[in-house]
A and B are shown apart, each in its own frame.
Chain A
Amino acid sequence: MPDTDLDAFRAELRDWLEQNCPEEMRDGARDEHSICWGGKNWKFASDAQRIWLERCVTRGYTVPTWPVEYGGAGMNRDQERIFHEEMARIGARYPLQSFGIWMLGPALLKFGTEAQKQYFLPPIARGEIRWCQGYSEPGAGSDLAGVQTRCEDMGEHWLVNGQKIWTSYADKADWIFALLRTDREAPKHKGISFVLIDMTAPGVSTKPIRLISGASPFCETFFDNVKVPKEHAPGVSSVVGEVNRGWDVAKYLLTHEREMISAGGAVMGGGRPLMEVLANAETGRTDPILQADAMRAEVDGLAFTLTLERYKDQAEAGSGVGDASAMLKYYGTELNKRRLELVMAAAGSEALDWNDERAPTWLRTKANSIEGGTSEVMLSIISKRILGLPG
């Protein structure tokens, strides 16, 4: 796209943001508490949060790169980059974040039928329906293809029985996308389907689990004789992709989940830049060992941020990210853990109080290298699929 067009795009966008982003939404907050998740049960934290969402929805800014017909703004990569730069310039919060935006949306855009896209995508873009992810089970974590929750074809409908675990925000979500076993005889990767289920259906229940950070964002999710209609509306199948071929959808979705989680490793990812933390903390200015570690983390963080950019450029140029999402996920999450260890060390006893936001943030980063596939699993993916090592 010619630079002049992009300049005009930027100018128009900047103008719109200036006029429409409420003052309270310009604090640059990126922490869990500031997120607007949307959904039927959502209670807006403020009028500003509601107004900001509504305004962004009219412009497709909740999902800037999705096609306009599904509620997006149809931005290309250059425009998207400018969008993020302009948002960051005024410290604008994201109007909406959700598993629908990060995970289900991209999977539907690739594998969904036209009817599924029209039915499910716009409510995600508008923040009306909140989704959760039903992948993991007590017996199927890293070995995800070992899922056992049963989904039987009863002719008129599917019948679902079993249990999911670690389902983030299952107690707050309206719908769940789940990996279910539809064929128990087939080899394990070939008998799984990707099924969309309404959480208000009879027989679905959730039980929150408390995390080390004190919060309870994830749950056990139980399915007890849950009847899932074959079609949620005329022509809108409850299964994405083909029956028994859900593993392909699941894997594709995981690459998006991994890219999303890896973004935490960017130097702008969350909270204040490490060098600033160091410059302001008492120990940061005096402890040479801490300084050296922090400088190393900064070097790696900057190079990793460039790597995220490089892979986005590559994806847009058509070569995709593919298995390299495992690299981004592994590197970004390990980096983020390193960084928060340094933030804690720089803060000393100041950050040991539950009321200090740093402690829960630090604890939360420990999950980054587990959720969405552990670091060890990422390394195995790289060694087998990218390096071609045997076994």
Chain B
Amino acid sequence: MEKLLKTEEEIMLADMARGFLDEAAPVARLRRMRDEGRTHDPELWKQMAEMGWAGVLVPEEAGGSDMGHTAAGVIAEEMGKTLTASPFIGTAVIAATALRRVADDRAKAALARIASGEAIYALAIDEGAKFDPDGVRMEARREGNGFRLSGTKKFVVDGGNADRLLVLARTGEGLTLFDLPADRDGITRAPRPMIDSRDAADVHLENVEATGEDVLGAVEDAMAVLRPALRAGQAALAAEMAGLAAGAFGMTVDYLKERKQFGVPIGAFQALQHRAAHLWCETEVTASAILHAGRMLDHDPDNAALAVSLAKARATSTAILAVQEGVQMHGGIGMTDEYDMGFYMKRARVAAEWLGDYGHHAKIVAQKRGFEG
């Protein structure tokens, strides 16, 4: 097993990311974006692309920095700490991993556009209220040499601003993944006002034409490409949530030292101390699962399912606990829009649902450990 310690390079990457994000993307930036009614920050994404983040999983010959999944997790974790909104997970992690599996000339060109920050991808899978890729029902009807897609995709993260959509649809017996330009005839996008102030949309497809050229990977074999991409995305999202938990926890511990009641800092009360200490334990245990998932994706991706689901499940429960304790231990101020804690709570809820909730991933863990349920 790979060592569960961050390497020198990973620590440097984290420090560098932290330095950049504190300067360029504190929570205040998300707040400003929300107040201005925007859900996308092209300027920030451009800077991230220049630093090699957009190409974190893109091969060097396509202009990427090819740092690997653990490194992607390190970046995502730092973004989570200050709730940085960007297309990082959907584009730099999920779409890049999918395209890399395909590895034909078209995919290589697409990877280059990801690395340069030109292309934004959104993953269109969900049709109901829960993540269930294997249960997708949208049909891609065969017509002539191509397909016609009709139906609605929900909770398409970055769907309002993306220029490409990865659409999962049923073709005959199996599932097929389509890589479509977002402006193709018959596609309409209805942005949803999300609680985390980020971009998510419902995407309607009405008799949208697709050819074999638009298929990513093989027809009726979407999962060969999509499954690894989803795992990469789930691990990165878990890392973001671990960062989110750390961010909320850090604010809370600071507040416990500052705020005085009954003549003492509230952090002197054992009732709060023990809850804070318990929360810290949860963050430590989750950190191990995050690092392990990154290492598995880098070194043994075909066997990473358990590690990834473990990371997403743990990150979900820890982040949810961190924001609940965060609000409670702040008292009234924690409930105000003016204070940042609410942003953490709302992002945690959205991230908890995206790419599979706690139950989805806990069941995978149980299955992999020999319990079918």
Residue numbers of A with Cβ under 8 A of B are 81, 273, 275-276, 278-279, 284, 291, 294-296, 298-300, 302-304, 306-307, 309-310, 313-314, 317, 324, 327, 330-331, 376, 378-380, 382-384, 386-391
Contact = CB atoms under 8 A, between A and B. Distances in A.
B346 interface: no
B130 interface: no
A322 B261 CA distance: 32
A383 B274 contact: yes
Contacts of B291: 306, 310
B289 A391 contact: no
B277 A303 contact: no
Interface in B276-322: 276-278, 280-281, 284-289, 291-292, 306, 310, 313-314, 317
A106 B289 CA distance: 29
Contacts of B372: 279
A366 to B, nearest CB: 19
Nearest to A284: B371
B366 interface: yes
B273 A379 contact: yes
A276 B370 contact: yes
A284 B372 CA distance: 11
A295 B253 contact: no
B267 interface: yes
A273 B264 CA distance: 46
B5 A314 contact: yes
A302 B281 contact: no
B4 interface: yes
B175 to A, nearest CB: 27
A275 B281 contact: no
B32 interface: no
Interface majority SS on A: helix, strand, loop or mixed?
A: helix
Given A299-B310, A303-B314, A309-B288, A382 B281 contact: yes
B285 A295 contact: no
Nearest to A378: B277
Contacts of B281: 327, 330-331, 382
Contacts, number: 130
A380 B292 contact: no
B365 interface: yes
A278 B371 contact: yes
Contacts of B276: 383, 387, 389
Nearest to B2: A313
Contact of B366 (A275, A309, A331, A380): A275
Contact of B267 (A81, A382, A390): A390
Contact of B277 (A279, A291, A383): A383
A165 B288 CA distance: 38
Given A303-B289, A380-B274, A387-B253, A295 B366 contact: yes
Size category, B interface: 35 or more
A301 to B, nearest CB: 9
Interface in B1-31: 1, 3-5
B350 interface: no
A376 B267 contact: no
A-B pairs, 7 with minimum CB distance: A391-B268, A383-B273, A382-B277, A310-B4, A306-B288, A275-B371, A389-B267
Contacts of B4: 306, 309-310, 313
Given A299-B317, A383-B274, 15 more contacts: A81-B1, A276-B370, A279-B371, A291-B373, A302-B289, A303-B288, A303-B289, A306-B288, A307-B288, A309-B4, A324-B284, A379-B278, A387-B280, A389-B276, A391-B267
A284 B285 CA distance: 26
B111 interface: no
Interface in B320-373: 362-363, 365-366, 369-373
Contact of B369 (A275, A330, A388): A275
A7 to B, nearest CB: 15
Nearest to A335: B285
A14 B317 CA distance: 40
Contacts of A291: 366, 371, 373
Contacts of B142: none
B264 A391 contact: yes
A118 to B, nearest CB: 34
B186 interface: no
Given A276-B370, A303-B310, A327-B284, A380 B365 contact: no
B288 to A, nearest CB: 4
A273 B269 CA distance: 38
13 contacts: A302-B365, A302-B369, A313-B3, A313-B4, A324-B284, A379-B273, A383-B274, A386-B280, A387-B276, A389-B257, A389-B273, A390-B264, A390-B265
A298 B285 contact: no
Contacts of B110: none
Interface in B229-254: 253
A298 B284 contact: no
B256 interface: yes
A298 B5 contact: no
Contact of B5 (A284, A307, A310): A310
A379 B280 CA distance: 10
Contacts of B277: 330, 378-380, 382-383, 386-387
A388 B366 contact: no
A289 to B, nearest CB: 13
A64 to B, nearest CB: 18
B270 interface: yes
Contacts of B373: 291
B366 A390 contact: no
B257 A390 contact: yes
B268 A275 contact: no
A307 B284 CA distance: 7
B310 A302 contact: yes
B365 A390 contact: no
Contacts of B274: 376, 379-380, 383
A378 B66 CA distance: 42
Contacts of A276: 370-371
A118 B4 CA distance: 35
A309 B280 contact: no
B181 to A, nearest CB: 40
B285 A300 contact: yes
A83 to B, nearest CB: 14
A298 B264 contact: no
Nearest to A304: B285
Contacts of A275: 366, 369-371
